[in-house]
């Protein structure tokens, strides 16, 4: 109670301070993306085995958004949405092949870094922030969103040269688009790509930017497949100590298409891990990559804490979507259940976010754009679909549970208000079939309640939040695919 009332006072004071502050561009922004990181982070609690001291330490000084969701469950659409500020249903960007520069809806929009760059900020970036697309006109034939920043550093580093490697192989089963393989690379951590990106970002914090505030974006590429990181990160997780993730083999039986046939079946990667008995090996490799990503992020967070920018820099650390590791008989992203919709999201706004708080408000990565604009005193961007949660950051216990939307491909949507998850499989495959899960009694989303008449009103309430319009898919890339998706 004492804690609650002091929290309330802090929130109240901060609220007053915010209201009285002149709208100036006093904040810098450090924007950190971690590719394919799910909630297997100590402070997120998705897997108790995860060793993430740097993110956890940062969370103690910032705020964990415990119920944060992505706008899309694959890299391209999620990143395009949060960077343009628009939902997939409004842009037609549904897959990794849809370049936002080729969509009639988005090609002229000011993306988040451009919005800051055009309004007095110096913008710089390294690593994957925008989704990569093959483009003959871009440097190295790759559009990485370089055009959105004043400076772009293309970090090099090797995760090649294997000390050992594992890959589950079963005749007749393919591993899917990205190689489902892992092992220890020979390169020392200091010679790997994510370390190089983080070190570059850390070094920039010694600079001045001609008196301008900065917007710096850092993209970490692990734990994206393939899971090749130095041995020391595998050594953190002895294989015989790994606790395997629980899943139910009958879990997909209650998710049916409109014609009554099963909508989903176990994926090829799941079958590979299952039939070779390599679930623990795969889960250990993901954990190793999570700890590697955490180590790299620590380099820039430590540098920020020691820099002159420590007290006037907003930090947002986010994963672009979740990842299944055997749940729903799947290894990977995609689909619309909690495991792929929920993302790690840690925020620190000096003098606004009370330290060490876990916030249960429902936020979407789509909301980052208007929130950063709001916090930095820039004029609102009328094109943004999301909403600013700056108020929530100052007062994390306030009610903030409007259903938030996640989309996967054309016409498939998922909504959650923190209690329920409603899924509308409106695409061709699902034919309008529905799912409903109640997290109060079923946090693993095992039991689909959509056909239970007791929940008719809940579904009715959620349906009102489905997009009224679903923009047809924008043109796909005609250029060669980039190596990493």
Q: Which of 70, 75, 341, 359 is catalytic?
A: 75
Applying CB under 5 A, among 154, 232, 254, 383 the residue interacting with Ca ion is 254
Compute the distance between CA of residue 115 and CA of residue 127 in angstroms, rounded to an integer. 20
Based on the shown chain and the rule CB under 5 A, indicate whether residue 35 belongs to the binding site for Ca ion. yes
CA 71 to chain CA centroid, Å, is 9
Q: Total number of residues binding Ca ion (CB under 5 A)?
A: 7
Q: What is the DSSP string of 76-113?
A: HHHHHHHHHT--HHHH---STT--GGG-TTTTTSPPHH
Number of Cβ within a 10 Å radius of residue 95 = 18
Query: Which region, judged by CB under 5 A, interacts with Ca ion, from 68-76, 99-107, 203-211, 387-395?
Result: 68-76
Give yes or no for a contact between 89 and 140, defined as CB atoms under 8 angstroms apart: no
Let me know if 359 is a catalytic residue: no
**What is the spatial distance between Cα 185 and Cα 230, in angstroms, rounded to a whole number?**
5
Residue closer to Ca ion, measured from CB, 75 or 142: 75
Could you tell me the smallest distance in angstroms from the CB atom of residue 252 to Ca ion?
Answer: 6
Binding mask 199-238 for Ca ion (x = CB under 5 A): ----------------------------------------
Stretch that binds Ca ion, among 133-141, 159-167, 244-252, 272-280 (CB under 5 A): 244-252
Catalytic residue (choose from 43, 102, 122, 131): 131
CB 320 to Ca ion: min, Å? 4
Nearest to Ca ion of 327, 374 (CB atom): 327
Give me the least distance between CB of 365 and Ca ion, in Å please.
12
Stretch that binds Ca ion, among 94-102, 250-258, 262-270, 407-415 (CB under 5 A): 250-258
435 binds Ca ion (CB under 5 A): no
- Shortest distance, position 270 Cβ to Ca ion, whole Å: 15
Rounded Cα distance, 112 and 99, in Å: 16
Residue 166, interface with Ca ion (CB under 5 A)? no
Q: Figure out which of the listed residues 55, 63, 70, 75 binds Ca ion, where binding follows CB under 5 A.
A: 75
Stretch that binds Ca ion, among 67-75, 141-149, 205-213, 389-397 (CB under 5 A): 67-75
Angle at 141 between CA 140 and CA 147, to 5 degrees: 85
For residue 75, indicate whether it is catalytic: yes
Choose between 135 and 320: whose C-beta lies nearer to Ca ion: 320
Q: What is the DSSP string of 108-160?
A: TSPPHHHHHHTTT-EEEEEESSSPPEE-TTSGGGEE-SGGGSSEEE-------
DSSP lists the bridge partners of residue 182 as 166, 227
Neighbours of 479 (CB within 10 A): 17
Q: What is the smallest separation between the CB atom of 254 and Ca ion, expressed in angstroms? A: 4
Cβ atoms 160, 187 nearer than 8 A: yes
Inter-residue contact 63 to 352 (CB < 8 Å): no
Q: Determine the interface stretch with Ca ion among 36-44, 145-153, 230-238, 348-356 (rule: CB under 5 A).
A: 36-44
Judged by CB, which is closer to Ca ion: 214, or 337? 337
Minimum Å distance from CB 448 to Ca ion?
5
Among 2-10, 27-35, 122-130, 375-383, the segment contacting Ca ion (CB under 5 A) = 27-35
The dihedral over CA atoms of 20, 25, 30, 31, expressed in degrees to the nearest 10, equals 90
Distance CA(283)–CA(287), nearest Å, equals 6
For residue 20, the minimal CB distance to Ca ion (Å) is: 40
The answer to whether residues 126 and 155 touch, using CB atoms and an 8 Å cutoff, is yes
Binding mask 307-326 for Ca ion (x = CB under 5 A): -------------x------
Query: Which residue, 245 or 359, is less far from Ca ion as judged by CB?
Result: 245
Q: Is the peptide bond before 463 cis (omega within 30 degrees of 0)?
A: no
Report the residue number, 384 or 448, with the smaller CB distance to Ca ion: 448
Q: Interface with Ca ion includes 36 (CB under 5 A)?
A: yes
Q: Give 40 or 309: the residue with its C-beta nearer to Ca ion.
A: 40
**Shortest CB 337 distance to Ca ion, Å:** 9
Where are the extended beta strands (E) located within 35-85? 63-69
Closest CA to 35 of 321, 461, 270, 385: 321
Q: How far is CA 137 from CA 100, 140, 141, 479, in A?
A: 15, 9, 6, 10
251 near Ca ion (CB under 5 A): yes
Which residues would be at the binding site for Ca ion (CB under 5 A)? 35-36, 75, 251, 254, 320, 446
Residues forming the active site: 75, 131
């Amino acid at each position: 109670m004492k804690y609650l009332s002091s929290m309330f006072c802090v929130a109240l004071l901060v609220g007053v301070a915010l209201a009285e502050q002149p709208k100036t561009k006093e904040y810098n922004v450090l924007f950190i993306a971690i590719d394919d990181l799910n909630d297997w982070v100590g402070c997120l609690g998705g897997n108790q085995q995860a060793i993430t001291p740097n993110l956890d330490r940062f969370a103690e000084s910032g705020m964990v958004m415990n119920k944060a969701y992505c706008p899309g469950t694959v890299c391209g659409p999620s990143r395009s949405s949060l960077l343009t500020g628009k939902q997939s249903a409004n842009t037609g960007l549904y897959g990794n092949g849809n370049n936002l520069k080729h969509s009639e809806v988005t090609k002229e929009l000011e993306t988040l870094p451009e919005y800051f760059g055009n309004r007095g900020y110096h913008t710089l970036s390294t690593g994957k922030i925008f989704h990569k697309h093959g483009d003959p006109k871009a440097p190295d034939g790759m559009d990485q969103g370089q055009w959105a920043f004043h400076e772009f550093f293309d970090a090099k580093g090797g995760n090649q040269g294997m000390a050992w490697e594992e890959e589950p192989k079963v005749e007749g089963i393919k591993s899917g688009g990205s190689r489902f393989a892992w092992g220890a690379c020979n390169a020392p951590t200091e010679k790997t790509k994510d370390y190089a990106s983080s070190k570059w970002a850390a070094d920039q914090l010694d600079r001045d930017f001609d008196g301008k505030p900065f917007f710096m974006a850092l993209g970490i590429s692990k734990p994206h497949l393939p899971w090749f990181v130095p041995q020391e990160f595998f050594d953190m997780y002895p294989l015989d100590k790994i606790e395997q993730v629980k899943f139910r083999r009958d879990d997909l039986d209650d998710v049916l298409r409109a014609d009554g046939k099963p909508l989903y079946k176990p994926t090829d990667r799941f079958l590979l891990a299952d039939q070779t008995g390599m679930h623990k090996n795969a889960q250990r490799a993901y954990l190793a990559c999570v700890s590697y990503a955490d180590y790299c992020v620590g380099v820039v967070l430590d540098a920020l804490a020691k820099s002159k920018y420590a007290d006037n820099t907003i930090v947002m650390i986010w994963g672009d979507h979740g990842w299944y590791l055997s749940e729903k008989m799947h290894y990977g992203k995609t689909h619309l259940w909690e495991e792929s919709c929920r993302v790690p999201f840690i925020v620190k706004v000096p003098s606004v976010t009370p330290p060490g708080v876990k916030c249960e408000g429902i936020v979407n990565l789509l909301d980052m754009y208007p929130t950063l604009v709001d916090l930095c005193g820039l004029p609102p961007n009328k094109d943004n679909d999301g909403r600013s949660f700056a108020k929530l950051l100052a007062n994390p216990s306030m009610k903030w549970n409007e259903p938030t939307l996640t989309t996967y491909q054309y016409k498939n949507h998922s909504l959650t208000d923190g209690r329920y998850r409603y899924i509308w499989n409106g695409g061709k495959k699902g034919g309008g079939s529905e799912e409903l899960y109640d997290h109060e009694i079923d946090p693993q989303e095992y039991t689909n309640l959509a056909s239970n008449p007791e929940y008719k009103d809940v579904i009715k309430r959620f349906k009102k939040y489905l997009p009224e319009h679903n923009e047809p898919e924008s043109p796909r890339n005609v250029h060669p695919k980039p190596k990493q998706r």
